[in-house]
Amino acid sequence: MNRFLEILFGVQSSSWTEGGHWSAQWVGMPTGDWMLLLIAGILVLVAGGWWLYKRDAQQVPAGRRYLLYAIRISILLLVVAMLLEPILVLSKEEKIPSHLLVLLDTSLSMSLKDAWKDEEKAIDVSQKLGMSANTDALRQMNRMQLAQKLVNEPFIKDLAADGTRTVHLHGFSDKFDPESLKLSEEWKTGGTGTAIASSLRQALLSYTGMPLSGVLLISDGQSTAGEPPEEVLQMLSDEGVPLVTVGVGTTDGPRNAAISQLEASPVVFVQDTNELTVHIESRGMQAESATLLIEQRRNGGPWQEFAREEIVLNLDGQLQPKTYQFSETKTGKLEFRAKLMNTGPEISQDDNLASAEVRVIRQRLNVLFIAGSTFPEVQFLRNTFLRDRQINLSSWLMAADKTYEHPGDLPIRRLPVTQEELNDYDCVILYDPDPTQWPVNFPDLLTNFVTKAGGGLVYIAGEMQTAQMFDRQSDPSLSWLNLLPVIREPGLFRSQVQIRLSARSPWKLDVTDQGFQDPIFTFSSDRQANERALENLPGMFWHFPVTKAKPGATVLAVHADPRMRNEYGQEVLIASQRVGPGWSIFIGFDSTYRWRYMDEQFFDGFWARVVDRAGRSKQLGGNYPFRLSTPQATYQPGGQAKIVARFLDESQMESGLQRLYGEVERGDDQPIPLTLTAGNKVGDFSTTFPVSQPGTYFVRVWLGDEAAGASVKAATLPIKVEFPNKELENPALDEAFLQTMAVSTGGRVYQISEADEIVNAFKIKQVSRLLEERQEIWDAPIFYILIFGLLVSEWILRKWCRLI
């Protein structure tokens, strides 16, 4: 019978329709005014047909006339029905699984470890995730690892609810990842932004047309990019899709304190006062206290406590230096280790420990003494250097013949001809030399020795060669004169009469205020005794006049004769200056040997301190006596960076030093000059400069004048400038944001410890689906059969009634 109906209506039913039902619909059925017009038309046809038969078939019996009228009206109605395009709808309702979306935050903040300061909560989470009550393992896991511990195969199986739901697991950061996450693989983090709302929208669009039972969002709630959540939450609410959120992390956020560096000079001298600096940085622990313990041991012996201090941690991102002083009386190896303790729970304690090693040595300097000619000053200097057990002397008398045995602790038969040979020395002392007798490359070796290797240069003016050299200072072979801390302008004229008049009687040194503060003029630890010693020093007869000291140089003594002055003041006799990492000292007279008349210790002590001042930097590796640092580990574009140069030993800083020079450059950009000025703390120099673009800025700072940077080795420090990573600015769990999102869609927020309850948050399992098949039947055979049958019946009936 069904087959017969299918033939009559011209339909072919599918196998899935078994057990379903069918209904008819009219595709061409008009609405509104057109429907009224259709009804009116049908009424006109019905009434008009009755009126025609009543008028033209009066002789036909009423029964036959009614039959003819019914047949005609039926034909017209069948035609109208065909024009209204009837269709047959075969439908069936079935149950199918719903779809559940699990969206996992894979941004950078999910790579952080939380300290889990609340021990009770930490134990609860550990147990619920199948770990022991020992929370150490929990604190070693980052947020992504905890999320993967939660979203395991049993959890996914529970969400699937015996196949009544289909679970889709995807990651997202700044956008939705259409690739499904695999439980068998380790999930990676790396997205530099979190766009929760935008990712939700993209996920919903990817699953358009599929019945959703809900969305499970696993995140720390830090949404740093993308659109506001209101619109997408309204979309979920309108569609009846609940958003359930799981917060990963703690509201305290990551807590960590670390010792980024334990800074100390790798080589120090016996009995020197040295500095040990501990650089501490912290996150999420502002204003909290910790204990800093510093221990030391000598020559591999037992560790002993060196310092213990209770400290209060600073703001995030700021380096916190703690400086301590130490001094050793014996040579050997000294080890330090610093440890932060009592910090409470934190990400890791592996970075709470740092160590440094220091080698303590005796101050025995290698000195090369080059004299242009014989003079009492030369003989006494050579003898005092040979007596000094802190000096290894090599001497070279340029006026001697070839067979002369040059005395010294380290005898030489020629001057150095390679940079390596000259760099074996710590200090070079020149007494009125004759550069024409030097090896050809010696001036360059000497320049590099001071400006690159950090060596010391002491120049003692003499009556035979000094004036001739300065008169030819534009000669390239005499460019090394630029190392000296004084300037003698070309054409400087000083009447020989005035000089001779001054030289008739000895004139004392006029020691400047800076000279009184300088260690080389410290003849006694008692200030008053030292001042008396300086006042009683025998004076000099001859001196070499110069115009002035260089900018940045320290003038230690000037001529006391009021006639020996110029527009810049009294003529300079002793001056010192840093030239890059090295020292340069100028002594404008050659009669310090006369100080022996007071006591030999005045002469010997003065020159021991001069050599120590000039050669110390070289022996300590040729490094600058200051360290460059910044208050912050990184800076942001558009801000101001600060650079600080801090002298570790104030005795290595010239007393008159007021500024340091440097430059900063980024990539191929033109270097920007810097001037570091003295701060409130002695030995600190600093400046700020703009950092407009991201990248690494290289800061170079040197000692000497502003132009020295082109030729001297500079102290360098890279400074990182990068855009702020919003993922790490405030990486604590944002429960409030997750709560707001969940509640607005009919869901709720859960903690990781509530894993068993998450599955019950989704009520929809299987959903009903209505399957429909539509087939047109306006041209079905039954319509043609009925119309044809009615037309034939009407013709026969009309023939019978003699109407045709």
**pLDDT digits 0-9 by tens, 107-118:** 888 888 888 888
Choose the final residue of a domain: 362, 393, 420. 362
C-alpha to C-alpha distance for 89 and 451, rounded to whole angstroms:
97
Average pLDDT over residues 612-626: 81
Give me the residues paired with residue 295 across strands.
305, 337
Instruction: Compute the residue count for the chain.
Output: 804
Q: Does residue 47 lie within any of the structural domains? A: yes
Average pLDDT over residues 307-320: 82
Three-state SS string over 249-302 comes to CCCCCCCEEEEEEEEECCEEECCCCEEEEEEEEEECCCCCEEEEEEEEEECCCC
Three-state SS string over 294-357 comes to EEEEECCCCCEEEEEEEEECCCCCECEEEEEEECCCCCEEEEEEEEEECCCCCCCCHHHEEEEE
What's the confidence (pLDDT) of residue 260?
83
C-alpha to C-alpha distance for 97 and 618, rounded to whole angstroms:
80
C-alpha to C-alpha distance for 148 and 157, rounded to whole angstroms:
15
Q: Between β-strands 634-635 and 715-721, what pairing exists: parallel, antiparallel or unpaired?
A: parallel
Name the token pair of 245: 């959120």
Q: Does residue 80 lie within any of the structural domains? A: yes
User: Does the pLDDT value for residue 705 go beyond 90?
Assistant: no
- 6 — pLDDT class (breaks 50, 70, 90): low
State the CATH number of the domain containing residue 695: 2.60.40.1930
- 20 — pLDDT class (breaks 50, 70, 90): low
C-alpha to C-alpha distance for 661 and 706, rounded to whole angstroms:
6
C-alpha to C-alpha distance for 214 and 754, rounded to whole angstroms:
18
**Considering the chain, what percentage of its residues have pLDDT values greater than 90?**
32
Is residue 420 helix, strand or coil?
helix
Q: Between β-strands 626-629 and 486-487, what pairing exists: parallel, antiparallel or unpaired?
A: unpaired
What's the confidence (pLDDT) of residue 712?
82
Structural domain of 232: 96-248+732-768
What's the confidence (pLDDT) of residue 430?
97
Same domain, 786 and 713: no
Instruction: Return the minimum-mean-pLDDT range out of 186-190, 651-655, 735-739.
Output: 651-655
User: Does the pLDDT value for residue 737 go beyond 50?
Assistant: yes
- 642 — pLDDT class (breaks 50, 70, 90): very high
Half-sphere exposure of 222 (CA within 13 A, CB side): 29
Q: Does residue 368 lie within any of the structural domains? A: no
Q: Hey, how many other C-beta atoms are within 10 angstroms of the C-beta on 409?
A: 16
State the CATH number of the domain containing residue 612: 3.40.50
What pLDDT digit, counting tens, does each position of 23-43 carry? 777 877 888 888 888 888 888
What's the confidence (pLDDT) of residue 9?
65
Same domain, 472 and 440: yes
Q: Is the dihedral of CA 563, 569, 571, 574 positive or negative?
A: positive
What's the confidence (pLDDT) of residue 1?
41
Same domain, 28 and 57: yes
User: Does the pLDDT value for residue 88 go beyond 80?
Assistant: no
- 11 — pLDDT class (breaks 50, 70, 90): low
Average pLDDT over residues 424-447: 95
What's the confidence (pLDDT) of residue 730?
72
User: Does the pLDDT value for residue 379 go beyond 90?
Assistant: yes
How does the average pLDDT of the chain come out, rounded?
Answer: 85
What's the confidence (pLDDT) of residue 771?
67
How many domains does one find in the chain?
5
What pLDDT digit, counting tens, does each position of 436-474 carry? 999 999 999 999 999 998 999 999 999 899 989 998 888
State the CATH number of the domain containing residue 165: 3.40.50.410
Same domain, 547 and 630: no
What's the confidence (pLDDT) of residue 764?
85
- 85 — pLDDT class (breaks 50, 70, 90): confident
User: Does the pLDDT value for residue 425 go beyond 80?
Assistant: yes
Choose the final residue of a domain: 599, 619, 639. 619
User: Does the pLDDT value for residue 226 go beyond 60?
Assistant: yes
- 426 — pLDDT class (breaks 50, 70, 90): very high
Same domain, 87 and 107: no
Name the token pair of 100: 């559940």
What's the confidence (pLDDT) of residue 663?
93
Q: Does residue 260 lie within any of the structural domains? A: yes
- 429 — pLDDT class (breaks 50, 70, 90): very high
Compute and round to an integer the Cα radius of gyration of the chain.
49
**Considering the chain, what percentage of its residues have pLDDT values greater than 70?**
93
User: Does the pLDDT value for residue 501 go beyond 90?
Assistant: no
What's the confidence (pLDDT) of residue 423?
92
What's the confidence (pLDDT) of residue 725?
67
Q: Does residue 473 lie within any of the structural domains? A: yes
C-alpha to C-alpha distance for 341 and 257, rounded to whole angstroms:
10
Q: Does residue 367 lie within any of the structural domains? A: no
Give Cα 670 to chain centroid, integer Å: 23
- 12 — pLDDT class (breaks 50, 70, 90): low
- 498 — pLDDT class (breaks 50, 70, 90): low
C-alpha to C-alpha distance for 372 and 593, rounded to whole angstroms:
17
Same domain, 331 and 239: no
Name the token pair of 118: 């609340």
Same domain, 437 and 312: no
Name the token pair of 326: 């130490």
Is residue 181 helix, strand or coil?
coil
Where is mean pLDDT largest: 39-53, 117-131, 310-324, 600-614? 600-614
Same domain, 612 and 646: no
User: Does the pLDDT value for residue 650 go beyond 80?
Assistant: no
Three-state SS string over 232-252 comes to HHHHHHHCCCCEEEEECCCCC
Name the token pair of 470: 């300065």
Same domain, 538 and 609: yes
Q: From residue 161, how far is each of 149, 489, 654, 763 by CA, in Å?
A: 20, 96, 80, 10
Q: Does residue 524 lie within any of the structural domains? A: yes
State the CATH number of the domain containing residue 266: 2.60.40.10
Choose the final residue of a domain: 299, 327, 362. 362
Same domain, 436 and 558: yes
Same domain, 425 and 488: yes
Same domain, 531 and 509: yes
Q: Does residue 739 lie within any of the structural domains? A: yes
